Amino acid sequence: MKIHSIKFKITLLLVVTVTCLVAMLIGFNSIFSEKVYMNRKQKSMINSYENVNEIMQKYTDSQIDKDTMCADMENISTAKGISVLVVDSSWCTIYVSTQGDDSMMERLRMSIFNGDIFKNNGSQDKAPEPKDQEDDSDNPADKDDKKEHRKRLEDIIDMSGTSLVENRTIISSNDNYTLQKVYDERLGDYYLEIWGTLDNGYSIILRTPIQGIKDNVNISTTLIKYVGGAILAVGIIAAFVVSTYITRPIKQLSNIAEKMSEMDFEPRLTILHQAGMLSEEDYRKVQDVIRFFQEKYGLTLTEENASAMITHLCAALGRIHRGEPVEPLDEEVYEETSQEPTFPKALEATQALVREILPDLPEDEQKFLTMHIGVVLAQS
């Protein structure tokens, strides 16, 4: 494929277009996917908090037993990929998820709540059974206790000396919970957390690693690269096929123009034949006439020396095919033509053509043909 050919340029244009689209897709995915995943994860964490709040409220109201509560909590932890820790106002563990090993959960407790507050006379992993009690959520004293509890919780989290104080970014916060991004120096990784209090006064921490979000972005980027590579490969093949289909008629016209510039009759005859203006039989007869002059007289008929003769011959064959007569040549013109030095040879050539190639050529058409042949011979 020539570098400056139309086919090459069309193929290059299509390939560059596909490449740019794939590159843009990869770029957009790299730039925006992490933000999208992060926003979804934040919404998922808030939704998990609300679900846990509802479950724990049912648990304290004795609407569900401990086994049901633990099963519901485990479902949330497993489905959302988060670690969950819930403690009561005495800092006894109500629920801790099995998402991650025990050491991770202990580190979670130490990081967020400070280890000493979980000391409960050796009973930190035992949750008290819920007690039947009246709903006193509207009690001002209880509200004050809840605020005091949250203040104590916030003071503990903000306590100097913990690794989280210098490495956390609060995303959103309200009276019930704080959503934050933290960096755990001991694990060397970022986490997304929600910590706060539930409606029943329990304290909660939900935590999930951000690395999972980055992994999802990397996986999607890798997938797009592979898919994009496949699309690019198919695009190159398709571009080549499409460019070939588009440029074929252009190339044919170019070849015809080149041949016509070289005074070759073949392109014109082909066009007339393909357009139905010259039958297959007449097309072969005209070609035989051209070969006749080449073989018998060593004369190459071209657009330059025989354009009028070949044009008249094609028209004559068309009239014969349609059964239409030609208007007779003026006798004076024919008589004048017969005085030309080339007339005898032209007449001889006409008679030979009628015998060998054009047996159905009427006499009036033969006179026109003789006159044209005389002109051709005079120019040679």
Of the chain, the end-to-end C-alpha distance in Å amounts to 41
Highest mean pLDDT among 54-63, 145-154, 189-198, 318-327: 54-63
Q: How confident is the model at residue 185, as a pLDDT?
A: 74
Q: Mean pLDDT across the stretch 294-307?
A: 83
The contacts of residue 308 (CB under 8 Å, 6+ apart) are 372, 375
Domain 263-379 bears CATH identifier 1.10.1790: yes
Reduce the DSSP state of residue 95 to 3 states and report it: strand
Q: What is the DSSP letter of 182?
A: E
Considering Cα of 349, then 355, then 357, then 358, what sign does the dihedral take? positive
Residues pairing with 209 in the sheet: 191
User: Domain boundaries in the chain?
Assistant: 6-216, 263-379
Please tell me the distance from the alpha carbon of residue 372 to that of residue 374, in angstroms, as a whole number: 5
Which tokens go with 377? 């011979």
Q: Within a 10 A sphere around the Cβ of 49, how many other Cβ atoms?
A: 22
Q: What is the pTM of this model?
A: 0.46
Task: State yes or no: pLDDT of 9 exceeds 90.
Answer: no
Q: How confident is the model at residue 5, as a pLDDT?
A: 67
Pick 126 or 183 by higher pLDDT.
183
The contacts of residue 253 (CB under 8 Å, 6+ apart) are none
Contact assessment for residue 358 and residue 324, using Cβ atoms and an 8 Å cutoff: no
The dihedral formed by the CA atoms of 334, 337, 343 and 348, expressed in degrees to the nearest 10: -20
Please tell me the distance from the alpha carbon of residue 350 to that of residue 354, in angstroms, as a whole number: 6
Encode pLDDT of 152-195 as tens digits: 555 544 443 444 444 778 889 888 888 988 887 776 778 888 88
Percent of the chain that is helix, strand, coil (3-state, to 5):
65, 10, 25
Which tokens go with 19? 């490449």
Q: Rounded to 5 degrees, what angle do the CA atoms 262, 264, 268 make?
A: 125
Contact assessment for residue 247 and residue 255, using Cβ atoms and an 8 Å cutoff: no
Considering Cα of 118, then 120, then 122, then 124, what sign does the dihedral take? negative
Q: Map tokens 């699309």 to a residue.
A: 231
Residue 370 dihedral angles phi and psi, to the nearest 5°: -60, -45
Pick the closest to residue 368 from 301, 315, 303, 300 (CA basis): 315
Structural element, H or E, at residue 75:
helix 66-80
Which alpha helices (DSSP H) does 262-301 contain, by range?
Answer: 266-274, 280-297
Encode pLDDT of 87-113 as tens digits: 887 778 888 886 544 544 454 455 444
Reduce the DSSP state of residue 264 to 3 states and report it: coil
Q: Mean pLDDT across the stretch 123-128?
A: 39
Pick 222 or 6 by higher pLDDT.
222
Task: State yes or no: pLDDT of 277 exceeds 70.
Answer: yes
